[in-house]
Amino acid sequence: MSKAKQSSGLATVHNLYVMQFQLMEYLQRGIRTENQAKEAKQCLREFSNLLGVANPDYMGGEDVYETLEKIQHEMSSRLKEKSVKSRTAKKVTATAVKVKKVANQKKK
């Protein structure tokens, strides 16, 4: 294996580990705002891309790779839950506004 390819493989794994810490921070602290959700989604996309090209041999074994995949799946699930809750909240708010408008029109 060439030095350049080995160096590239190690750099990929290093970047993957850095992003792992970012994702873990989102998982531990929670996602409270839309901006945090966007940042987390972008981080997850990059993490997923790196995980797809990373060589498990540079990580210390398959178990490490599997752990990173679990983090990816958990974060993806949390972001989906957040998205569903956000859409539901927006629908409820929109419906409440419509009901108030109709009620106000009937009073006039």
Helix axes 3-29, 62-107, angle to 10 degrees: 40
> Whole domain around residue 58: which residue ranges?
3-81
Please give the pLDDT value at position 1. Answer: 55
Please give the pLDDT value at position 18. Answer: 92
Residue 45 within any structural domain of the chain: yes
Residue 74 within any structural domain of the chain: yes
pLDDT tens-digit readout, 80-101: 886 655 555 555 565 655 656 6
Helices (DSSP H) in the chain: which residue ranges? 3-29, 34-53, 62-107
To the nearest whole number, what is the mean pLDDT of the chain? Answer: 80
Cβ proximity of 78 and 31 under 8 Å: yes
pTM across the whole model: 0.66
What total number of domains does the chain contain? 1
Q: How many other CB atoms are found less than 10 A from the CB of residue 85?
A: 10
Average pLDDT over residues 32-44: 89
Residue 93 within any structural domain of the chain: no
